[in-house]
Amino acid sequence: MTEKPPVPAASSRARAAAASVVVACATAAAASSSSSASASSSPSPSPPATAIVAVGAPVLRQRAVEVDVAEIATPGFQALVARMVEVMRAAPGVGLAAPQLGVGKRVFVVEDTEERMAKLTAAERAERGRVPVPLRVLVNPVVTPLGEPRAVFFEGCLSVAGFSALVPRHDEVEVRGLDERGQPVAWRVRGWPARIVQHELDHLDGTLYVDRMLTRSFGTTAHNAERFGGQPIAAVRAALGL
């Protein structure tokens, strides 16, 4: 996931806020791997950073397979995790799922830093519930929504390059799974981290944000940033009649 859409030159307010108007998965419009390769028991040699699969690739529409616990410690799997972290940071992004590298395995990585949210005002950070997230690796994750409240914010995905839309997500979730060492983990998150987790889990189930979006809000990333950058979501929804 990345959060930097093209920013119009119109106003400094829009420039400061538009960097956060999109939550996007770290996926680029590039060559995709075949579904047979994605289902192999051992990941193939690390792909180059540009080989992040785009919408239309079968691997993005298939349920990824569980990772055998015995596989986690293998050099091949550890190399996959290292590559995922490398690509996520290079994007730059705040999350990446294995299918985005053409590998149909149930693992994703997340990380958010102060640097990536530096342009947000305190009010914008509070509205999004955005806080730093140290690097985490989740293998075979299971996400459980906690309570009914949902939050709506813009999301985008470089697999659907150049577009974004409002997407409702549970405000708080618990994720359980294994870490990169195969140890059990339980992580309760809310706000922006919860959105990242749900976005990445969707990738493991063959789902993209366009399957969940409020369709009236769908538009190019540039237009949404220009029109709505810096505005609270309540104002955006009112403008769109949502």
Cα–Cα distance, 141 to 144 (Å, whole number): 10
Measured between alpha carbons, how far apart are the two ends of the chain, in Å? 25
Reported as type and span, the H/E element at residue 155 is strand 150-157
Provide the angle, in degrees to the nearest 10, between the axes of the packed helices 221-228 and 233-240: 110
* Three-class SS state of 72: coil
pLDDT tens, N- to C-terminus, the chain (242 residues):
656 443 443 444 444 334 334 444 443 332 233 333 333 444 444 444 447 888 899 999 999 999 999 999 999 999 999 999 999 898 888 999 999 999 999 999 999 999 999 988 898 899 999 999 999 999 999 999 998 889 999 998 877 878 999 999 999 999 999 999 999 999 999 999 999 999 999 999 999 999 999 999 999 999 999 999 889 999 999 999 99
Beta-bridge mates of residue 185: 177
pLDDT at 1: 66
pLDDT at 229: 86
pTM of the model: 0.82
Cα–Cα distance, 66 to 44 (Å, whole number): 17
12-240 carries CATH number 3.30.499.10: no
Q: Domain limits of the chain?
A: 12-240
Cα–Cα distance, 104 to 60 (Å, whole number): 8
pLDDT at 226: 93
Q: Which positions are annotated as active-site residues?
A: 200
The pair of structure tokens assigned to 176 is: 């359980």
